[in-house]
Amino acid sequence: MQQYDLQGQPYGTRNAILNTEARTVEAEVLSRRCVIMRLVDFSYERYQKALRQSAGAVVIILPKNMSTMPQDIVQQFMELEPEMLATETIVPVYFALEDDELLSIYTQTLTSSSSQGSSSAAEGWLSYGADSNGSGVSMLLELARLFSRLYTYKRTHAGYNLLFFVSGGGKFNYQGTKRWLEDNLDHTDSSLLQDNVAFVLCLDTLGNGDSLHLHVSKPPKEGTAQYALLKELETVASNQYPEVKFSMVHKKINLADDTLAWEHERFGIRRLPAFTLSHLNSHREVQRSSIMDVRPHVDLRKLSRNTKLIAESLARVIYNLTEKGAPGDLQIFTEQMQMQEEQLSSVVDWLTAQPRAAQLVDKDSSVVSTLEYHLGRYLKDVRRHYVKADKRDPEFVFYDQLKQTMNAYRVKPAIFDLLLAFCIAAYLGVIYLSIQVCIDTTSAF
């Protein structure tokens, strides 16, 4: 399980090393034992049972193909993940992918054989974030490609400049976005960013569902660019994609919460007009931060549809097509300008083929380099920005031991050692008595 501190609050387990006997959760005594359980057997009550009995560690075995699991089990686990992460404990908790060797260990443990293990794994290495937010990044890259075609020629250049921004640390209260805003608003001589931003559109979890929600902290006023985008999204959805249910969701920023609900709130705090598009109705949906969010959770057809819908809406805003009398069913991105579903699919496959937890992405990460290369093909002046925690008062602290190898050994039970010691002592005692008898017999002669 991940281990980190965010704004002084610890999350995850505080320990990572173990060397103890293995038991399944059905065993009566779990104290100082490594408790192994499969996902189908996992429940919050059993997890708490292991913690109450001071288990040496907990290993949860996950199936390789999450899509084969019953949805009720997957949903239950996703609901429990945040509680597990928020529960402070010194019991190491590990996640491991199922394979033949691990199943063999589990089966032997289930039949009351005894094992000694030294293991470590982590949720961070199993977090692929397919829909949240691999779908958002994939969509941003495709939007950059589409609009770069329009902005290539002066006669099709709109009156707006477009800035595409991919940030890290989204699961850690949007630390990447926060630091980027601080660098561009607080540490510069002028505040051109604040004075010249029509609106900020954040993309989050858009790879599934037939709903599209525009999350806002403050409803846009009529006559503003934000209001124009809202209306264009409604127009395109109703005229070109009637199967999509579009709505606006209003939620005020609550600074008393430990973490912000959506990324647009980071911009809203700095008085930048912003909103988030997502197929999720609430920020509390469990699939936003679950290891169950894997590639099968992204429906490429729906992701492509949502990308086209957003691209058409943005184009209608920046080219002011509605006021020019363009009909609602007019499509801009057609023929040579149309969506490239194969490329979109390739990007999604690439993003979901590797974990992208913030602890794993450093300045030399292939993820960062590939994103920079991809954006550089369509955009000008692509830059990297690095974020480091403050040494004196860090807002976040990451811990290592995210990925380790699990070793298990079959050993004799402790009673065997006691029996062996008794036999050796008896053997030595017999030899001692025999020698004493021989000495006494010799003395008598």
Q: Which of 332, 306, 310 is nearest to 319 (CA)?
A: 332
| Region 80-100 average pLDDT | 86
Could you report the per-residue pLDDT of 317-361, keeping only the tens digit for each? 999 999 999 999 999 999 888 999 999 999 999 999 888 888 888
Name the pairing type of β-strands 211-216 and 245-250: parallel
CATH of 130-354, one of 3.40.630.10, 2.40.160.20, 2.40.40.20, 3.40.605.10: 3.40.630.10
Does pLDDT of 441 surpass 90?
Answer: no
List, for residues 357-408, the tens digit of each pLDDT value.
Answer: 888 888 888 999 999 999 999 998 899 988 888 888 788 888 766 676 767 7
Pairing of strands 4-6, 396-398: antiparallel
Determine whether domain 4-126+399-411 maps to CATH 3.50.30: yes
pLDDT at 111: 62
Tell me how far apart the alpha carbons of residues 261 and 279 are, in angstroms, rounded to a whole number: 15
Predicted local confidence at residue 129, as pLDDT: 87
pTM of the model: 0.78
**Mean pLDDT for the chain?**
87
Residue 119 has pLDDT above 50, yes or no: no
pLDDT band at 265 (very low <50, low <70, confident <90, very high): very high
Domain boundaries, the chain: 4-126+399-411, 130-354, 420-445
Quick one: pLDDT band at residue 114, thresholds 50, 70, 90?
very low
